[in-house]
C-alpha cells in the first residue's frame, strides 16, 4: 500500500492458498479483474485464523471482504479419502501443511466479521460454491446446512466469479447495499426469518434442510432438482428452507463470450509466486507454470465431479490469438525451459465444442451431453 501511495483499499481478498500471480489461481485472476476496473485490491493469504488481527492488516476495506478457502475444498486439501491427514499441501509454500483451517471458508468469514463489523463478506471458490445448499459432508458423515448458515457470509458467489465480483464491487461503490446484489446471477444468500420467500413459476423449492437430513429420498430429490437447474439458459431460482429461514440460489451466470475470456486471461499477470516466499516452492505452481488454459467448463455432467457444478456445462474458449499471445509471453520469460506442458482446461479437450443448435440449447435440460 505504501509503495502504491494508497491510504486504503476497496476489497480485501482472503485466501487459503499461497499467492501466485497467474490466471489459474483464483485470487490472482479475480484481483486482476477488479484492478482492471479501477478498484484497489489487497490479498491476504493463509492468515492465522486464530485471531482477527491479520484481517486488520490493510485497514477497513471500503467495499467488502472476498473470502475463499482456495483453489480446492479445504477438507480435500487436508485429508485423504481414508480421512488420514495428508503429508503436504500443494498450494502452500514448501508444501507445508497446517497453514489453513478445516472448512476454511467458515472461520475466514467469521474473522472478517470480528475484525470489522458492518463490512460485507462475500464468499466464493469451489468450497463455498459446492456447499451453497444443504449437502452431504463426507468427513463428518452427516448432512450439513448451507455454508451460508455456518459462515454468516452475506453472499456466496458460486461458479467462476470474474463478472460477479466486478458487478458487486460496482454496485457497492455506487452506494447500493449487499442486499441490492441479490438479483445477480450466480449468487446464493440466506433470508432472514421475517423476509418473504420467493415463489412463482420461475422458482423451484427443494426439500428443506431438515427433510434432507432425515430422509435419503428427500436428499435425492433435492439433489436431482438442483442439478436440473444448472443451465444458465433456462435455470430457475432455487429455494431451500432451513428452519425459519431460507437459502435462495439465483440462476447461474451466462457463459463468458470469447472476448471476455480473452480479456481476463490477458490481464497483466507476472506469472510469479509472491517474493515473500523466498526459495520455498509452491508445488501447485511448479506443476502448472508451463500450462496454458484455453477453455473452461465440461459437458460431461458427471454427478461425482465438481467441474460441471462449478464451471458449468457450457464450454467457454479463448481465441487462438489470445492463446498465442500468452505463449509468446512465456517464450520471452528467461525462466521458461522451452516446453509447454499442456494446452487445456479442467477436463478433456473440449476446446470450442458447443451445442450446434442454440435455440435447442436454450431449453435443453439434459444433464450430460456425453
Q: Under a CB-based contact definition with an 8 Å cutoff, are residues 152 and 114 in contact?
A: no
Q: What are the structural domains of the chain?
A: 11-249 (3.40.50.280), 261-361 (no CATH)
CA distance 185 to 187: 6
Query: In the chain, which ranges are continuous DSSP H helix?
Result: 26-36, 74-78, 105-115, 125-130, 147-151, 162-173, 209-214, 216-228, 258-265, 283-288, 306-311, 320-331, 358-361
CA distance 67 to 47: 12
Please list, in sequence order, all residues whose beta carbon lies within 8 angstroms of the beta carbon of residue 260, skipping any fewer than 6 positions away. 162, 163
Three-state DSSP state, 289: coil
The 155-157 sheet, strands edge to edge:
41-45, 11-15, 64-68, 121-124, 155-157, 187-191, 245-249, 237-242, 203-206
CA distance 56 to 58: 6
Closest C-alpha among 265, 248, 113 to residue 185: 248
The full DSSP string for 237-277 is: EEEEEETTEEEEEPPPPPPPPHHHHHHHHTS----SB-GGG
Return per-residue pLDDT of the chain as tens, 370 residues: 778 888 999 999 999 999 999 999 999 999 999 999 999 999 999 999 999 999 999 999 999 999 999 999 999 999 999 999 999 999 999 999 999 999 999 999 999 999 999 999 999 999 999 999 999 999 999 999 999 999 999 999 999 999 999 999 999 999 999 999 999 999 999 999 999 999 999 999 999 999 999 999 999 999 999 999 999 999 999 999 999 999 999 999 999 999 999 999 999 999 999 999 999 999 999 999 999 999 999 988 888 888 888 888 899 999 999 999 999 999 999 989 999 999 988 877 899 998 889 899 899 988 888 7
Please list, in sequence order, all residues whose beta carbon lies within 8 angstroms of the beta carbon of residue 90, skipping any fewer than 6 positions away. 77, 282, 283, 284, 287
**Counting beta carbons within 10 angstroms of the beta carbon of residue 166, is it exposed (0 to 12), middle (13 to 18) or buried (19 or more)?**
middle
CA distance 4 to 148: 35
SS (H, E, C) 55-119: HHCCCCCCCEEEEECCCCCHHHHHECCCCCECCCCCCCHHHCCCCCCCCCHHHHHHHHHHHCCCC
Residue 299 neighbours by CB distance under 10 Å: 21
List, in sequence order, every residue forming a beta bridge with 293; answer none if it has no partner.
Answer: 344
CA distance 172 to 179: 10
Computed from CA positions of residues 92, 157, 169, 251, in that sequence, does the dihedral angle turn out positive or negative? positive
User: For position 347, what pLDDT does the model report?
Assistant: 79
List, in sequence order, every residue forming a beta bridge with 189; answer none if it has no partner.
Answer: 248
CA distance 53 to 111: 9
Closest C-alpha among 25, 7, 24, 3 to residue 16: 25
State phi, psi for 136 to the nearest 5 degrees: -80, 125
Amino acid at each position: 500500500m505504501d509503495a502504491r501511495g494508497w491510504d486504503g483499499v476497496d476489497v480485501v481478498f482472503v485466501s487459503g492458498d499461497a499467492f501466485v500471480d497467474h490466471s489459474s489461481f483464483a485470487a490472482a485472476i479475480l484481483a486482476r479483474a477488479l484492478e482492471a476496473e479501477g478498484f484497489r485490491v489487497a490479498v491476504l493469504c493463509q492468515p492465522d485464523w486464530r485471531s482477527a488481527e491479520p484481517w486488520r492488516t490493510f485497514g477497513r476495506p471500503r467495499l467488502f471482504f472476498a473470502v475463499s478457502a482456495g483453489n480446492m475444498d479445504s477438507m480435500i486439501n487436508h485429508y485423504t479419502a481414508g480421512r488420514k491427514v495428508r503429508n503436504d499441501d500443494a498450494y502452500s509454500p514448501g508444501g507445508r501443511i497446517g497453514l489453513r483451517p478445516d472448512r476454511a471458508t467458515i472461520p475466514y468469514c467469521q474473522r472478517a466479521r470480528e475484525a470489522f463489523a458492518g463490512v460485507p463478506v462475500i464468499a466464493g471458490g469451489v468450497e463455498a460454491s459446492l456447499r451453497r445448499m444443504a449437502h452431504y459432508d463426507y468427513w463428518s458423515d452427516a448432512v450439513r446446512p448451507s455454508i451460508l448458515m455456518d459462515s454468516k457470509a452475506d453472499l456466496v458467489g458460486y461458479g467462476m466469479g470474474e463478472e460477479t465480483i466486478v458487478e458487486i464491487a460496482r454496485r457497492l461503490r455506487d452506494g447500493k447495499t449487499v442486499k441490492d446484489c441479490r438479483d445477480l446471477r450466480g449468487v446464493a444468500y440466506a433470508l432472514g426469518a421475517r423476509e418473504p420467500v420467493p415463489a412463482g413459476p420461475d422458482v423451484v423449492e427443494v426439500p428443506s434442510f431438515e427433510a434432507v437430513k432425515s430422509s435419503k429420498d428427500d436428499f435425492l430429490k433435492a439433489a436431482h432438482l438442483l442439478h436440473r437447474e444448472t443451465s444458465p439458459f433456462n435455470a430457475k431460482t432455487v429455494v431451500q428452507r432451513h428452519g425459519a429461514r431460507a437459502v435462495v440460489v439465483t440462476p447461474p451466470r451466462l457463459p463468458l463470450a470469447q472476448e471476455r475470456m480473452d480479456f481476463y486471461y490477458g490481464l497483466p499477470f507476472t506469472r510469479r509466486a509472491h517474493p515473500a516466499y523466498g526459495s520455498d516452492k509452491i508445488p501447485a505452481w511448479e506443476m502448472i507454470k508451463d500450462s496454458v488454459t484455453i477453455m473452461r467448463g465440461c459437458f460431461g455432467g458427471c454427478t461425482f465431479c465438481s467441474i460441471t457444478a462449478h464451471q458449468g456445462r457450457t464450454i467457454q474458449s479463448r481465441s487462438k490469438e489470445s492463446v498465442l499471445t500468452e505463449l509468446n509471453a512465456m517464450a520471452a520469460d528467461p525462466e521458461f525451459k522451452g516446453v509447454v506442458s499442456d494446452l487445456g482446461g479442467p477436463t478433456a479437450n473440449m476446446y470450442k465444442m458447443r451445442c450446434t443448435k442454440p435455440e435447442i440449447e436454450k431449453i435443453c435440460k439434459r444433464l450430460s451431453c456425453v
